[in-house]
Amino acid sequence: MTSPYNYRHLYYFWVVAKEGSMSKAAERLDMAIQTISTQVHDLEKSLGHLLFKPSGRGLALTDQGIAALNVADQIFSIGEKLPEILRDASKTPRKKLTVGIADGLPKLVTRQLLQPIFNHQSVQVVALEGNFENLLANLALHKLDLVLADRAVPDNKNLKLYSDQIDQSPVDWYASHHFFSKAKKRFPACLNELPILLPTQHSSVRLKIDQWFEKNNITPQIVGEFEDSALLKTFGASGVGILPAPNSVDADLNATYQLRSIGACKNVYEYFYAIRAEKKIANPLIEAIIKHNKTVVP
């Protein structure tokens, strides 16, 4: 079906409307005024409406001209973006990975676990933190590509999810410089006299720490419990209390929070898992994350 008007004529009309006169449009287009005038009149003839009316030494749009300009703006504004759109289309598309981060997983550990995929070019990571059970439900519905957590997926044949243990770390006790001179007793007895900051029960390591306290005859003076591991470390850095953390991030704890280890939480480990919905891994980004996989939980 043939268009009732010529798009080239419409373009000339658009330039005249933007410039406000035939002469300025002719200068912009490097064309004769008469040529442009003829093209605009041809457009008016094909549309059956006058688009301009005289206004002083220039031109003004008629009501129909205003309506035509609104349409022309949409058409040619998009057209002007065509080179940029084509440049973007020629770029290598980014590989996108949507990762659920269990709220019990320490933030510094999360950064370490995700670090391998940033060695790949053109990667876009979407990291969503949430409740462990909710993340598993979204993974089962394929709303997530992967879940990183501090525990393996529970046995549930209906979910059809699979866990890979990708890392583990012993736990140490960390303190700001303020507490190194305050402790009168040797570690771990000094924990009886110092204020303690702990993760809440949502963290899988909390039960192990409570059991460690009991085994070592420590009655902790708990001054704060935190769901957010970054907030826990921030309070620790400000001198509110000492805290447990995986020593695999020892360097980051020192550099970012100025926290140093005062002793090991002996025989207490944190375990970190990558959980996926497909047993056979096809996504190279997921493969990069679990390349050091040691244990598969069916």
pLDDT, tens only, 25-46: 889 888 999 999 999 999 999 8
**How many domains in the chain?**
3
Whether residues 162 and 285 fall in one domain:
yes
Which domain does 44 fall in, by range?
A: 7-87
Say if CB 139 and CB 277 are below 8 A apart. yes
Whether residues 139 and 100 fall in one domain:
yes
Out of 87, 107, 126, a domain closes at 87
At 198, which CATH number?
Answer: 3.40.190.10
Q: Any idea which residue has 């990762």 for tokens?
A: 99
Question: Is residue 2 in a domain?
Answer: no
Question: Is residue 1 in a domain?
Answer: no
Question: Is residue 223 in a domain?
Answer: yes
In this prediction, the residues of the chain whose per-residue pLDDT falls under 70 are 1-5, 88-93, 121, 157, 279-281, 292-298
Question: Is residue 46 in a domain?
Answer: yes
Out of 87, 113, 131, a domain closes at 87
Out of 87, 117, 145, a domain closes at 87
The pLDDT, as a whole number, for residue 298 is 42
Can you read off the two tokens belonging to residue 38? Answer: 């003829």
DSSP letter (8 states) at residue 242: B
pTM of the predicted structure, to 2 decimals? 0.65
pLDDT, tens only, 44-55: 998 989 999 888
**DSSP per residue over 98-123, as a string?**
EEEEETTS-HHHHHHHHGGGGGSSSE
Whether residues 264 and 204 fall in one domain:
yes
Question: Is residue 218 in a domain?
Answer: yes
The amino acid at 1: M
Question: Is residue 72 in a domain?
Answer: yes
What are the beta bridge partners of residue 203?
Answer: none
Whether residues 235 and 115 fall in one domain:
no
What are the beta bridge partners of residue 148?
Answer: 101, 274
Please tell me the distance from the alpha carbon of residue 174 to that of residue 127, in angstroms, as a whole number: 27
